[in-house]
Amino acid sequence: DIQMTQSPSSLSASVGDRVTITCRASQGISTYLNWYQQKPGKAPNLLIYAASSLQSGVPSRFSGSGSGTDFTLTISSLQPEDFATYYCQQSYTTPRTFGQGTKLEIK
Amino acid sequence: QVQLQESGPGLVKPSQTLSLTCTVSGGSISSGSYYWSWIRQPAGKGLEWIGRIYASGGTNYNPSLQSRVTISVDTSKNQFSLNLSSVTATDTAVYYCAREQTGVVRPFDYWGQGTLVTVSS
């Protein structure tokens, strides 16, 4: 299985901050990397697919980059509604695997 | 707008079989452009992919669960189902169904709201 490792596991930030979350794959996955946002009691919501493509309806303050084994999710200016848990996921091969999550909290 | 909705018992006894159904609306499950997946999440933990099915009936399962999992599809009802046998307390989780795109990019673009299944006597 491909292991996905996110860092940090948790992060405190303020409204307006620029935030970056990192995801590392245990082997190369090209750009088969997706990012999701999950709020308490809700299903994950797709933000970024294919490492850098913004899902329709997702605000442009979200962006993704990377290829191979190292990827980043950046939120350019945090809004109150962005405080949530973020997961990366590889779609290179089965079994599909997710990172352990990064919980973004209000400072 | 595609919608997915999980249904099934919220309480299952240890050693029994967990059975859930996902009903798809707003689109045909028979479309050749998607896989239909089950994903679970224990309380306070991360996401685990269980497996997926294609409209033709082809399946892929997580090796960690493969011996206990069966996913099936009923195209006439626009539904797909999960059976997980010999459950224990570690199978207690919120279970999600989700649509995964096929082709070059393959994200989970639509999810059900999730259903909590508790394994307890």
Per-residue three-class SS string for B71-106: EEEECCCCEEEEEECCCCHHHCEEEEEEEEECCCCC
Mean pLDDT of A10-29: 97
Distance from CA of A28 to the nearest CA of B (A): 16
Residue A44 has pLDDT above 90, yes or no: yes
Helix (H, G, I), strand (E, B) or coil at A80: helix
pLDDT at A15 over 90: yes
- Look at residue B105 in the predicted model and tell me its pLDDT: 81
CB contact under 8 A, B46 and A53: no
Contacts of A97 in chain B (CB under 8 A): 49
Whether A95 and B49 lie within 8 Å, measured CB to CB:
yes
**Please, what are the averages of pLDDT over each run of 10 residues along chain B (121 residues)?**
97 98 95 92 97 94 97 96 98 98 89 98 95
Query: Using a CB-CB distance cutoff of 8 angstroms, which residues of chain A are in contact with residue B114?
Result: 42-43
Nearest alpha-carbon partner for A25 in A96, A99, A103: A99
Q: Is the pLDDT of residue A30 over 90?
A: yes
User: What band does A92 get if pLDDT is binned at 50, 70 and 90?
Assistant: very high
For residue A107, pLDDT over 90 is answered with no
Nearest residue in chain B measured CA to CA from A6: B46
Beta carbons within 8 Å of A52's beta carbon, 6+ residues apart:
A31, A63, A64, A65, A66
Taking CA–CA distances from B37, the nearest residue in chain A reads: A96
Partner-chain contact A98 B105, CB within 8 Å: no
Interface of A with B (CB under 8 A): 1, 32, 34, 36, 42-46, 49-50, 53, 55, 87, 89, 91, 94-101
Q: CB A87 to CB B46 under 8 A?
A: yes
The SS3 assignment for B55 reads coil
Nearest-by-CA chain B residue for A36: B108
